[in-house]
Amino acid sequence: MGYFNAMAEFRIKLSAPDIADDDIEEVVGVLRSGWLSLGPKVIEFEQAFANYLGVKHAIACNSGTSALHMMMLTAGIGPGDEVITSPFSFIASANCIEMVGAKPVFVDIDELSLNMDPALVEKAITPRTKAVLGVHIFGLSAENDKLKAICERHKLVYLEDACEALGATQNGRKAGDGRHGIAAAWGFYPNKQMTTGEGGMVTTNDEAFATSIRKLRNQGRNLSAAWLEHDVVGYNFRLDEMSAALGLAQLRRIDDMLAKRERVAHAYNERLWPLREHLKPLPEVMGHRRSWFVYSIMLKRHIDRDKVAAKLAEWGVQVGKYFSPPIHLQTCYRKKYGYKEGAFPVTEDIAHRSIALPFHTKLPEKDIDNVCECLHDAIKAMMK
Ligand SMILES: Cc1ncc(COP(=O)(O)O)c(C=O)c1O
């Protein structure tokens, strides 16, 4: 309840979905049709998504988390196995491993890309390691070539958490296009580059992998048999038709929406240049094109992030502290594995200094100016 009240109080919101009249028409069209689940819109959305990425199979589901969960099951991960992943991510990147009874093994991140350091990934491999889950954080592709090569060398499965990275490229190739990880998970929560409300997708070039995901999301039903025949224990992770229709309409505008996000990011970069001795925006990384998911800045060490964040909130600017605490320092992971501060120094340092500023396609120039002025005033007040 408190969360929703807090949302209402901010003058400038952290994120907002980009909903156009066509999106509304698509959803209303489904409602008028009376066909609300297991209908044509999911299939159309899946085909359009697969085309966008240039991948053979796209299977829609009801969240990025369920996409990750089904990927773990399909990759055969289970009790006794270890999966290497990033502690600097949304908690679902580790929870999906716990959900199948396996152990997430974290490795620290590279301070420029904020993605897992491939050298540390290789060092963390044990006889129990079964897979690596690369996370494309803040819309920047993980080192897919290196992670895939490590997995091939050690006979591990490479999987991608692409929930934050629709449209991201490395060396001109889209993250999650099925040529690195055997499969990738996508999420469409309303703060993402495109939304279905709640929703997710698994993409893969592997026919058997796709078949398994299709079964798991629909109660383990045998795809060719009669309706009530189930050959594995599955879930209800289906995406409904209204959400799929919204996804389809959003996907038609994805390039335009990504370009708008990039423009907002560049506008922030310009305005924050005078504050460069106090903060650093997300960097450009050679060979990468970021798909702008959040606009996060890293405050330099002489600035108290929590005080700046509190000031901005007091002035009506909603901010996020991504990802603070990082996953290994969340209560549930501390309790289970005994993690303490200092386990992953780069992750902890970045988590401690980051603030995500209001960021979405429709953020007006005057709000960008205002956020930057507030940030300037908050920092200057602290320097006195
Ligand atoms: C990196 C990452 N993984 C997984 C998820 C989970 O997606 P969802 O919220 O759709 O379950 C998110 C969403 O916030 C995410 O950012």
Calculate the average pLDDT of the chain: 96
Q: How confident is the model at residue 350 (pLDDT cuts 50, 70, 90)?
A: very high
Q: How confident is the model at residue 3 (pLDDT cuts 50, 70, 90)?
A: very low
Q: Judging by beta carbons within 10 Å of its beta carbon (0-12, 13-18, 19+), is residue 29 exposed, middle or buried?
A: middle
Mean pLDDT of 114-118: 98
β-bridge pairing 295-299 and 173-174: unpaired
Q: Is 164 in the pocket of ligand 1 (CB under 6 A)?
A: yes
Q: Is the Cα dihedral 20, 56, 63, 117 positive or negative?
A: negative
Q: What is the pLDDT of residue 53?
A: 98
Q: Is 86 in the pocket of ligand 1 (CB under 6 A)?
A: no
Q: Which atom of ligand 1 is nearest to the CA of 198?
A: 10
Residue 345 and residue 272: Cα distance in Å, rounded? 27
Residue 7 and residue 172: Cα distance in Å, rounded? 38
Q: Is 191 in the pocket of ligand 1 (CB under 6 A)?
A: no
Residue 192 and residue 254: Cα distance in Å, rounded? 11
Per-residue pLDDT for 358 more than 90?
A: yes
In CATH, the number for domain 21-252 is 3.40.640.10
Whether the predicted model's global pTM rises above the 0.75 cut: yes
Q: Is 189 in the pocket of ligand 1 (CB under 6 A)?
A: yes
Q: What is the pLDDT of residue 270?
A: 98
Mean pLDDT lowest among 7-16, 110-119, 173-182, 198-207: 7-16
Q: What is the pLDDT of residue 23?
A: 98
Q: Is 93 in the pocket of ligand 1 (CB under 6 A)?
A: yes
Cα 157 to its chain centre, rounded Å, is 20
**The residue type at 163:** C
| Cβ–Cβ < 8 Å for 199, 63 | yes
β-bridge pairing 57-61 and 200-204: antiparallel
Q: Is 187 in the pocket of ligand 1 (CB under 6 A)?
A: yes
Structure tokens at 253: 């505008």
Q: Which atom of ligand 1 is nearest to the CA of 135?
A: 1
Q: Which of 90, 140, 195, 202 is the best mutation target for the ligand 1 pocket, counting ligand atoms within 8 Å of the beta carbon and taking the most?
A: 90
Mean pLDDT of 239-264: 98
Query: What values do phi and psi take at 82, rounded to 5?
Result: -120, 145
> Rounded to the nearest whole angstrom, what is the distance from the C-alpha of residue 332 to the centroid of ligand 1?
18
Residue 372 and residue 301: Cα distance in Å, rounded? 19
Q: Is 163 in the pocket of ligand 1 (CB under 6 A)?
A: yes
β-bridge pairing 288-289 and 169-170: antiparallel
pLDDT in tens, 148-187: 999 999 999 999 999 999 999 999 999 999 999 999 999 9
Q: What is the pLDDT of residue 6?
A: 52
**Fold classification of 2-14+254-383 (topology level):** Aspartate Aminotransferase, domain 1 (3.90.1150)
Per-residue pLDDT for 291 more than 60?
A: yes
Q: Is 63 in the pocket of ligand 1 (CB under 6 A)?
A: yes
Q: Is 135 in the pocket of ligand 1 (CB under 6 A)?
A: yes
Residue 361 and residue 366: Cα distance in Å, rounded? 14
Q: What is the pLDDT of residue 228?
A: 85
Q: Domain ranges in the chain?
A: 2-14+254-383, 21-252
Per-residue pLDDT for 4 more than 60?
A: no
Mean pLDDT of 211-224: 94
